[in-house]
Amino acid sequence: MESDFTPDHFMPEDISSWLSRFEHSMLALRDLHVYDGMRTMRICPAGSGLPERLHIRMLETMRKEGSVNDRALRQAWIDQLFEHKVISHGLLERIAKNVARSRIERYGTLKLFGINRLQRLSTENGKPTYLCCFERYCRKHRSSLYVIVFESSDDPMDSELLKELSFVLREESTSMPRLETMARHIDQAIAMIHPVWLGRISLGPVFVSNVTQDEHELQRTLDESAESGEYLAASRFIYEYLLAESAKPVQTLLDPKGRKHTSLQKFAVRKLNEECNERGITELQKHLFAPHHIVRALPEEFRRSIGHRITIVEK
């Protein structure tokens, strides 16, 4: 990400850690499949361009297994190469998988869901306020980093309330919902928690020439520009957030556990902006990363219409 990208409430170290684990997760998947002729890494060609969730789950499982010392495997491969003058693809496959395990152990992996940070904030109004940063690889095969800032009538938060919050965040982020819908459901699900700010940074979709499928000018340009056997790619990230503007007192509403609500939040959706209204958000930023010659080949009208800040990616 660019150095001048400074989203509210997102800590730079949380973004950097997430992006680093994204990068190393993709590299680990490459290592796992490069010599494995029996398995195919499946991607979601429409709407994502990223590996399917089952592969991220597999990496999580490998992370719990730990790494294996592959010195003996490497020596066996070298011995066989010099003795029999043949390359053992079976040994190469095992070595590559051990490289993937070592990478996972050192750098970590993406999580299907995980809370990365929970901290209490100091506020001027005196109400106990918390910040929760969590990540999600959702059922649309997209990776997102979220931050929710909320007021809590329980202070400090006990382990049971944190467990309940974790469950609600996992359920509500399943399929990258509109942020207004998500915030409203969180507000209604736990009577003691009142969201005041909800933000999301999402990666993808990734567009790859002649691989992904999209009726999109960018996809068409990639397909037409790629030479035989060449893969051209472009990707984007989106930053969006929703702000609560007021709280409405209520008297008869109970949450799913029978606890009485005292108020519900009203959220500031920017209705005059068509895309903000559609997404249920207050503000939106979109960034597109593409090779220089692809950006030049895109029609000027298209570049203006998509509303993305375009960053040139050099080979």
Domain-wise residue ranges, the chain: 12-107, 113-313
**Can you tell me the distance from the alpha carbon of 256 to that of 252, in angstroms, rounded to the nearest whole number?**
13
User: What are the phi and psi torsion angles at 313 (to 5°)?
Assistant: -105, 115
3-state SS record for 79-118? HHHHHHCCCCHHHHHHHHHHHHHHHHHHHCCCCCEEEEEE
AA identity, residue 32: L
Q: pLDDT tens per residue, the chain (315 residues)?
A: 445 678 999 999 999 999 999 999 999 999 888 777 666 788 999 889 999 999 999 998 887 665 555 665 555 545 555 555 555 566 677 777 888 888 898 999 999 999 999 999 977 677 899 999 999 999 999 999 999 999 998 888 899 999 999 999 999 999 999 999 999 999 999 999 999 999 999 999 999 999 999 888 999 999 999 998 899 999 999 999 999 999 999 989 999 999 999 999 999 999 999 999 999 999 999 999 999 999 999 999 999 999 999 999 876
Instruction: Please give the model's pTM, rounded to 2 decimal places.
Output: 0.90
**What is the β-pairing status of strands 233-249 and 283-291?**
antiparallel
